[in-house]
Amino acid sequence: MRRTMFVASGILLFGILYPKSNFTQEKAGSAEPKMTPEDAAKKNPVQPSPEGLAEARKLYGYDCAMCHGKDGSGKGDLAQDMKLELHDWRDPASIEKMTDGELFWVVSYGRGKMVGGEADRSPEKVRWKLVNLVRSFGKKAAASADKPKTESPQP
């Protein structure tokens, strides 16, 4: 009986100390999930909205900006340290050939040097909001680029 208690509390303690370790290790160790054509063809069910973008931006600040940069430039500190060549999302053309489904998949599972993703942390809806946010970096840049800068020429 004492032994069972001991083992049981050990398991409990392990669960407290390493809540997600089993899951993460399994994913990193064994075969990476593969993106299927169906994944890439998925349509974004979440319309971009100021609230959705704000929610995604918060999460992005914690989990993504260290690599992709606060502004989506791909020049976050960690990316620089790891010498990653990331897309500059401020240029919409950088990811224009990728479908929302594809972006969603990478956000969910990572790819290459982007190890892991949000799949085990955030619900699907939030991940789609992150896709909207990623796209929005380019839209903002495009919007300001469209504005004629010479409207009121500065002396």
Residue ranges binding ligand HEC (CB under 6 A): 63-64, 66-68, 78-79, 84, 86-87, 95, 98, 103, 106-107, 111-114, 118, 130, 134
- 3 state SS of 25: helix
Nearer to ligand HEC by Cβ, of 79 and 149: the residue is 79
Q: Tell me how far, at minimum, the Cβ of 39 lies from ligand HEC, in Å.
A: 13
Nearest CB to ligand HEC, comparing residues 112 and 155: 112
Find the shortest distance in angstroms from Cβ 86 to ligand HEC.
6
CB of 46 to ligand HEC, least distance (A): 14
Residue 71 and residue 137 in contact, taking contact as beta carbons nearer than 8 Å: yes
Kindly tell me which of 18 and 120 has the beta carbon lying closer to ligand HEC. 120
Amino acid (one-letter) located at 95: I
Q: How far is the CB of 106 from ligand HEC (least distance, A)?
A: 4
Counting every residue written for the chain, the total comes to 155
Q: Supply 120's token pair.
A: 């085990």
**Which residue lies nearer to ligand HEC by CB, 8 or 140?**
140
Q: Is 97 exposed, middle or buried (0-12, 13-18, 19+ CB in 10 A)?
A: exposed
Residue 49, CA atoms < 13 Å, CB-side half-sphere? 8
Instruction: Select 95 or 141, whichever has its Cβ closest to ligand HEC.
Output: 95
Question: Smallest gap, in angstroms, from Cβ of residue 21 to ligand HEC?
Answer: 19
Distance between CA atoms of 134 and 90, rounded to whole angstroms? Answer: 9
Please give the backbone phi and psi of residue 99, each rounded to the nearest 5 degrees, phi first: -80, 160
